[in-house]
Amino acid sequence: MRHDVTFPLYVEVDQIFNLACPASPTHYQFDPVQTTKTSVHGAINMLGLAKRVKAKILQASTSEVYGNPEVHPQPESYWGHVNPIGPRSCYNEGKRCAETLFFDYHRQHNLPIKVVRIFNTYGPRMHPNDGRVVSNFIVQALRNEDITIYGDGSQTRSFCYVDDLIDGMLKAMDTGEDFTGPLNLGNPSEFTMVELAEKVLRLTASKSKMVFKLLPQDDPKQRKPDIFTS
């Protein structure tokens, strides 16, 4: 069924995976007010549904709750370094508020919750115009267009294959009610953007050249999950 999570939903379910929200900066900045509403109103409506039908509910949160981190790698205990009024805030703060709602419903209503923080993920069926770095680089290379790198390319990301991410989400949902998270889900192997571009160029045998543009505001300098502590 097709439904907008910013409105209440009335169905009978046993488990809820709340993944609703655009995750690419290009897409979530297109309508930032709606992005915030999707995270906040969506969380309220899905938590209300879970409470009504006594369902276990998982929130797909994000590494963006850590902002531009001053701690590296990022453990789940880190509270983050987030700009609340910047162009990325609709997503970052929306997801942070959703986490708050999940834990308040857990404390106030004893609702069984799971919160996972998803780091950069890639895999088949990504939209060519997704706007995230892996798909951007691959599409540009296949078209022999310039590879667009923001900043000097020294900023890092850690890329998790989508099958591994889904496996982690399913396993998190299957944990006992005493485990709530938050839980980092991602790959602890770290790449600079230049290293990623070089790998894509090598694998595609592309004639593309790397071009460097100004770094967007609040773009994180580092991103790497600590998946060994909690």
Q: Which of 58, 101, 99 is nearest to 79 (CA)?
A: 99
Question: Of 91, 105, 122, 161, which residue is the catalytic one?
Answer: 91
Give the helix/strand (H/E) hosting 210: strand 210-213
Joined tokens for residue 208: 């593309």
3-state secondary structure of 47: helix
Q: 91 an active-site residue?
A: yes
Task: Give the separation between CA 221 and CA 32, rounded to whole angstroms.
Answer: 22
How many alpha carbons fall within 13 Å on the CB side of residue 5?
A: 24
Residue 31's contacts (CB-CB under 8 Å, 6 or more residues apart) are none
- Strand 15-18 and strand 56-62: the pairing is parallel
Distance of CA 46 to the CA centre of its chain: 18
Q: Catalytic amino acids?
A: 91
